[in-house]
Amino acid sequence: MSNSQIIGKATWRDDVRVLLQFLHGRRGGADHGANLDAFYGPQADVYDRFRERLLHGRADLMQALDLKAGQRVIDFGAGTGRHWLFIEPKVPRLARVDLVDLCTPLLDVARARFANYPDVRTHRADAQVWRADEPADAAIFSYSLSMIPDWRAALMNAVRQVRPGGLIGIVDFYTLPAQPPGPFKPLSGWDRSFWPRWFRHDGVMLRPDFPAVLLDVAATVRLEQGKARLPYLPFVRAPWFFWIGRVPG
């Protein structure tokens, strides 16, 4: 089945609604969950249709994780859980998928989507502190790490809950220091200065120090860096990456 059959086709009215929300930006009050509800609430029903053209690399990450029957996975900042449909036939064979998010309207979409999957659980909770009952085989952040205020705390919370030898998977927009570490290929000066400013308006924080931290907490299994078009911005390409790291034994 094609993506547009799964998610539905975006109409221009849906797009206008989402674009107005982007223009308005995300408010920055002290209650992060309330800020997320206010930003995503008015667009939750069309979120997936717009993000289909915005959040690249999610299918690549989900497939590259190569999850096996009986495994347990924690998804931090899971939103509507749309990315799980990229590997939908595997989902009922997993022992547990915990979808953790602070945004009630997006989690409501996820809850309805996976209503017939008893081992897919939704949790309204902060990724910086939420803890599972048992160690996980993998933890993922799909375009969420850049929206979590204390992203280091969230990453370390995930690493602590993945068993030795398990995987951390991240897909997101990104920036880098001028001379990035290890396997990361450099970005142009324009990319490094334009995109962090562009995304900040909507509460997406691109931090140049993140690659060093990733490389410190897990051994790189796979890294892909790409650039992709964004809806209604025909002349620019935004950098995105996905990375899979193995937690040391």
Residue 46 engages ligand SAM in binding (rule: CB under 6 A) = no
Nearest alpha carbon to residue 226 among 207, 244, 240, 247: 240
Q: Which helix (DSSP H) or strand (DSSP E) does residue 223 occupy?
A: strand 219-230
Q: Hey, what are 42's tokens? A: 């008015």
Largest Cα span, the chain: 50
Residue 51 engages ligand SAM in binding (rule: CB under 6 A) = yes
Q: Which is nearer to ligand SAM, 143 or 184 (CB)?
A: 143
Task: Provide the minimum distance between the beta carbon of 58 and ligand SAM in the complex, in angstroms, as a whole number.
Answer: 6
Residue 102 engages ligand SAM in binding (rule: CB under 6 A) = yes
Instruction: Report the residue from 52, 98, 126, 191 that binds ligand SAM according to the rule CB under 6 A.
Output: 126
The interface with ligand SAM within residues 127-166 (CB under 6 A) comprises 127-128, 142-144, 147-148
Residue 82 engages ligand SAM in binding (rule: CB under 6 A) = yes
- Buried b / exposed e over 40-76, threshold 16 CB at 10 Å, is beebbebbbbbbbebbbbbebbbebbebeeebbbbbb
**Environment class of residue 159 by beta-carbon count within 10 Å: exposed (0-12), middle (13-18) or buried (19+)?**
middle
Instruction: Report the residue from 7, 18, 46, 55 that binds ligand SAM according to the rule CB under 6 A.
Output: 55
Q: What are the residues binding ligand SAM (CB under 6 A)? A: 32, 36, 51, 55, 58, 77-79, 82-83, 100-103, 106, 126-128, 142-144, 147-148
